[in-house]
Chain A
Amino acid sequence: MIDPSLFQLVCFYAFAAVTVVAALSVITLRNSVHAVLALVLTFFSTACIWMLAEAEFLAIALIVVYVGAVMVLFLFVVMMLDIDQEKIREGFVKFLPVGLIVAVVMLVEMLGLIGVRMMHTQTMGENPATAAGMSNTQWLGMALYTQYLLPFEIAALILTVGVIAAVALTLRHRAGTRKQHPSEQVAVKATDRVRIIKMAAERPADSQPAPAQESKP
């Protein structure tokens, strides 16, 4: 009754339309929190499009990494900012020519890329995952960890260096901050804190100092 390929096409156009509208609203919405949420929607509908293209691993990774972690931190920061809308708009006219030039250059580059791609007579091969009879995720794992192991490991190393550099750049030891040392807290003994002295309950009679003499009038 419902033609599967037609349904897929309809779904593609629906997701694509949502992606474009959401991406446009990222740069047009006045409220920055709303803009971040529009970006989340853009990622989400892009993931849906990738899912249609049977790239399930990439689609879910996009949601886990970008929607689930990166955008949460982004939202977190944007929520904390006290943005003055008027001040941001002040430089709009001044920066407009620069922005337009960048936009035109990007457009030309993209059109060129599409043109080159169109001129290629060679069509894309069969989906290698289906050809190997594996799921997309499994095939991707196999390819990454066998055929492309070295580039993959190098990429991982570069990312690790990036993480360490980011931490080293932002880590500052401010003077006057107090820190807890849980290992010391755990290792502490009662004798470090309290000293218990044995002593008699009463003092011997002779060592008792004489009561102070009251001066009599």
Chain B
Amino acid sequence: MDQLIHQLLLPLLYTLCVVLPLVIGVAMYVWWERKVIGWMHVRMGPNQVGPAGLLQAFADVVKLLLKEVILPTNANKVLYYLAPLIALVPALAAWAVIPFSDKVALSNANAGLLYLLAMTSLGVYGIILAGWSSNSRYALLGAMRSAAQVISYELAMGLCLVCVLVLAGSLNLTDIVNAQAGHKGIFDWFMWPLLPVFVIYFISGVAETNRAPFDVAEGESEIVAGFHVEYSGSAFALFFLAEYANMILVSFLAAILFCGGWLSPIPDAVPVLGHTSILWLFAKVFVFATLFLWFRATFPRYRYDQIMRLGWKVLIPIAIVWVLVAGCMKYYGLVHIGTGG
């Protein structure tokens, strides 16, 4: 009986410990998005439900869950209901290898970075299938745009990850964070030697999650709402959840791969503030997550051909060159690689 608990129930419990805060985090993130964009538009944002409108997101969830899921005429029934799940499952599965601290991770897999690449590349199926099975022109257009965009930016993103693993010499995310440890605090992070790649990674992350200014897959002023135009109620809520979970995931990865994860930006000689802490990780993630919202409030949407040009002719060449630069930096020992602990 003891063994059963160890082998089956404990992993399940740990998984819940990640997924539940994630879902609540998504709700808070939606509230924060509406607040931030409200302030940038010089208006209040949600302020009626609960203190400072904090419960607005939960009210919206309840509203969505109570709505009817409508099946369009001649839609492909199985795929139509399966698509939101296919979008959500990789978005949640990717969290299995995210380390939260030196010792805390659901799975401290050796091929963690590869696994992440595999999981993030699966998310596009949900979008394509949703667009195709809805039997709607707008949805199909959105799915086409999204497929081309996600594949293009995945290449740039993959090359950025190659730079990180060349420097760190490991695919294990905990090792990658520990490789950024040192006595100089913020200056030991990979974001300095890999600055162009760091910027490219974040741009690709925004494009991968189909967020503004790369939100042509939704493009509400051109193709109404793109791939999920026919979805309502809880099916729509799943797409929503997947998108925001992916945004938080990209923020976590930016913090872990380039900004030292739970390491402190202050040199470790300083008492208290120089210590490693999970709070540093959350602070960095918060900054990146807020950047997503800032972009949305600031930039106009890219045109489709401009997105393709930026991805193929600007980001990918720079990333390829920087793979070579990272290799030279590693070979000549120009970057300090910490050992952690």
Contacts and interface: CB of A to CB of B under 8 A. Distances in A.
A135 B169 CA distance: 13
Given A56-B111, A137-B111, A182 B309 contact: yes
Contacts of A57: 111, 114
B227 to A, nearest CB: 12
Q: In which size bucket is the chain B interface?
A: 20 to 34
A37 B122 CA distance: 12
A72 B149 CA distance: 12
A32 B305 CA distance: 29
A21 B199 CA distance: 44
Interface in A43-88: 56-57, 60-61, 63-64, 67-69, 72-73, 75-76, 79-80
Contact of B118 (A37, A68, A79, A135): A68
B121 A68 contact: yes
A111 B144 CA distance: 43
Contacts, number: 72
A67 B111 contact: no
A60 B309 contact: no
A35 to B, nearest CB: 13
A137 B154 contact: no
Contacts of B129: 37
A72 B7 contact: no
Contact of B171 (A73, A137, A180): A137
B115 interface: yes
Nearest to B170: A138
Contact of B114 (A1, A37, A137): A137
A137 B7 contact: no
Interface residues of A, number: 26
A40 interface: yes
A76 B127 CA distance: 11
Interface in B100-147: 110-111, 114-115, 117-118, 121-122, 124-125, 128-129, 132, 140, 143-144, 147
A1 B151 contact: no
A137 B121 contact: no
Interface in B261-299: none
A33 interface: yes
Contacts of B124: 68, 72
Interface string B152-184: 001000100000000000010000000000000
Contacts of B132: 33, 79
A131 interface: no
A138 B151 CA distance: 27
B111 A60 contact: yes
B121 A64 contact: yes
B111 A135 contact: yes
Interface of A: 1-2, 33, 37, 40, 56-57, 60-61, 63-64, 67-69, 72-73, 75-76, 79-80, 135-138, 180, 182
- List the 8 shortest-distance A-B pairs measured between CB atoms, nearest first: A68-B121, A63-B118, A135-B110, A60-B114, A1-B3, A64-B118, A79-B132, A60-B118
18 contacts: A2-B3, A37-B79, A37-B129, A56-B110, A60-B114, A60-B115, A63-B122, A67-B118, A67-B122, A68-B117, A68-B118, A68-B124, A69-B151, A72-B147, A72-B151, A75-B147, A79-B128, A136-B111
